[in-house]
Amino acid sequence: MSFELVCIECGYTHDNSQYRILCDKCTGLLDTRYDIAPTVEARVVSRATGTARYLPLLPIRNSENLVTMNEGNTPLVRLSKISDELGLASVWGKMEFFNPTGTFKDRGNCVQVSVLKDTGVVEVAESTGGNGGNSTAAYCARAGIVYHAFMSTSIKSSQKANAIVYHGAKVHWIDGDKLDVEEATRNFSKETGILHLRYGENIYFIEGKKLIAYELPDQMDSMPDHVVVPVGNGSILMGIYKGFRDMLEDGRINKIPALHAVQVEEVQPLVAAFEGREWTATRDDPKSRATGITVKVPPRPQVVAQNCRETGGQVIALAENRILWWHKRLASLEGLLVEPASAATLAGSELLRQRGVIKQGETVLVPLTSLGIREPLI
């Protein structure tokens, strides 16, 4: 595929021959730029399914290096009782936990692991322990890439850590908190020359999330008025925005929905970026059960804020008790047990409705990002 990587800070362009995370010139983060006609015919592979259907707008040079488990094509379900409770025309849940490892992160890992294979990388290291690590370990196993998983001994008995072990990862147990684990990963990478993956920073992971948006015209008669997204690093929101932007350009849609980002009150760097104020992270681990949206230092806060501004959306912080209330409510009303971070989308829809941002009779889409059965329920 014809594309290049462009620094979002200085604009310097790079070819696609290497797996790149940072700009060679200024160490800024990268974005993609494709050389392809803005037509559906050029951008969509008509007879393909899943990720392969959208390969022309993904940063994979050789289609034979696509590492896939048929992720994507996730169902879209109308949440009728939730719609009634919120006084909305309809609320739609995009069931991202139907992906192979039970999480939306499979979309990002399909692309980033394919790029690893595409550029000849055979061994990587990452600090992990959650759904992202389980997904990365699974896709690396499928690709035949050695995955060094650095995890804290404090999560040694967790289901997610055990799943990473089952996928054949080379596990490095570290005594300490997340910062200690991250430091150990960095040191290992420097000493061995093995690539430090850092999925929160690389553009490839974000590119995989575009497909959530790409699938919607085939599932809906018209685009929703609002999309409410849980944000930690913000990759899912940035990917959805890029997907909508591509489709606006080639005529698949005529308007981008308002994109809203939701965080917990305890950890709100993206809210601060949107509001133009400072936010300082502490070393203490967050107590929120919505762990997926408690990233203290997201790598692209201004990009998330700008994506929301451009579409008429908001970035808001939510009370923990409302997240947990909607977590139970979704399970009891609609039969869907999701991770608490997914339920934050409903708490966010409620707050945006109360503020008059989402109006009566409008439609809302929420990505239900991961299964809840692997999460503590007490």
- Identify whether residues 272 and 163 lie together within a single domain: no
User: Using CA atoms, how far apart are residues 227 and 257, in angstroms rounded to an integer?
Assistant: 7
Whether 260 has a pLDDT exceeding 70, the answer reads yes
Q: Which residue has the tokens 């951008």?
A: 43
User: Which residue, 169, 196, 223, sits at the end of a domain?
Assistant: 196
pLDDT of residue 58: 98
- Identify whether residues 127 and 252 lie together within a single domain: no
DSSP 364: E
- Identify whether residues 220 and 352 lie together within a single domain: yes
pLDDT of residue 285: 83
3-state secondary structure 94-138: EEHHHCCCCECHHHHHHHHHHHHHHCCCCEEEEECCCHHHHHHHH
User: Using CA atoms, how far apart are residues 94 and 369, in angstroms rounded to an integer?
Assistant: 8
Q: Is the residue at 65 inside a domain?
A: no
pLDDT of residue 108: 97
Whether 1 has a pLDDT exceeding 60, the answer reads no
- Identify whether residues 81 and 137 lie together within a single domain: no
- Among residues 108, 118, 121, which one has the least CA distance to residue 194? 121
Query: What is the domain-level CATH number for residue 150?
Result: 3.40.50.1100
User: Using CA atoms, how far apart are residues 197 and 114, in angstroms rounded to an integer?
Assistant: 13
Q: Which residue has the tokens 């990917």?
A: 239
Q: Is the residue at 114 inside a domain?
A: no
Task: State which residues form the domain around 86.
Answer: 76-100+210-368
- How would residue 282 be classed by pLDDT, with cut points 50, 70 and 90? confident
Q: Which residues pair with 280 in a beta bridge?
A: none
Q: Is the residue at 221 inside a domain?
A: yes
| Tens of pLDDT, residues 190-234 | 999 999 999 889 999 999 999 999 999 999 999 999 999 999 999
pLDDT of residue 199: 87
Q: Give the pLDDT mean for 77-105.
A: 97
- Identify whether residues 20 and 43 lie together within a single domain: yes
- Identify whether residues 187 and 156 lie together within a single domain: yes
| Tens of pLDDT, residues 48-83 | 999 999 999 999 999 999 999 999 999 999 999 999
Q: Which residues pair with 125 in a beta bridge?
A: 148, 196
Which helix (H) or strand (E) segment is 191 a member of?
A: helix 178-192
pLDDT of residue 286: 87
Mean confidence (pLDDT) of the chain: 96
Q: For the chain, first and last CA: distance in Å? A: 48
In the chain, helix, strand, coil percent, each to 5?
A: 40, 20, 40
Q: Give the pLDDT mean for 142-169.
A: 95
Whether 321 has a pLDDT exceeding 60, the answer reads yes
- Identify whether residues 129 and 259 lie together within a single domain: no
- CB distance 119 to 17 below 8 Å: yes
Q: Give the pLDDT mean for 151-167.
A: 94
- How would residue 374 be classed by pLDDT, with cut points 50, 70 and 90? confident
- Among residues 12, 9, 3, which one has the least CA distance to residue 32? 3
Neighbours of 46 (CB within 10 A): 7
pLDDT of residue 13: 98
- How would residue 378 be classed by pLDDT, with cut points 50, 70 and 90? low
pLDDT of residue 344: 98
- Identify whether residues 20 and 159 lie together within a single domain: no
Q: Is the residue at 109 inside a domain?
A: no
- Identify whether residues 288 and 349 lie together within a single domain: yes
What is the domain count for the chain?
A: 3
CA distances from 228 to 145, 263, 326, 336 (A): 35, 11, 14, 17
- Identify whether residues 218 and 335 lie together within a single domain: yes
pLDDT of residue 228: 98
- Identify whether residues 243 and 337 lie together within a single domain: yes
Q: 3-state DSSP call for residue 174?
A: strand
User: Which residue, 145, 163, 196, sits at the end of a domain?
Assistant: 196
Question: Strand order in 13-14's β-sheet?
Answer: 13-14, 3-7, 30-34
Q: Is the residue at 375 inside a domain?
A: no
∠10-13-19 over CA atoms, to 5°?
110
| Tens of pLDDT, residues 334-372 | 999 999 999 999 999 999 999 999 999 999 999 999 988
Q: Give the pLDDT mean for 86-107.
A: 97
- On the 0-12 / 13-18 / 19+ scale of CB atoms within 10 A, 115 is buried
Q: Is the residue at 88 inside a domain?
A: yes
Q: Is the residue at 327 inside a domain?
A: yes
- Identify whether residues 240 and 356 lie together within a single domain: yes
% the chain with pLDDT above 90: 92
Q: What pTM did the predictor assign?
A: 0.96
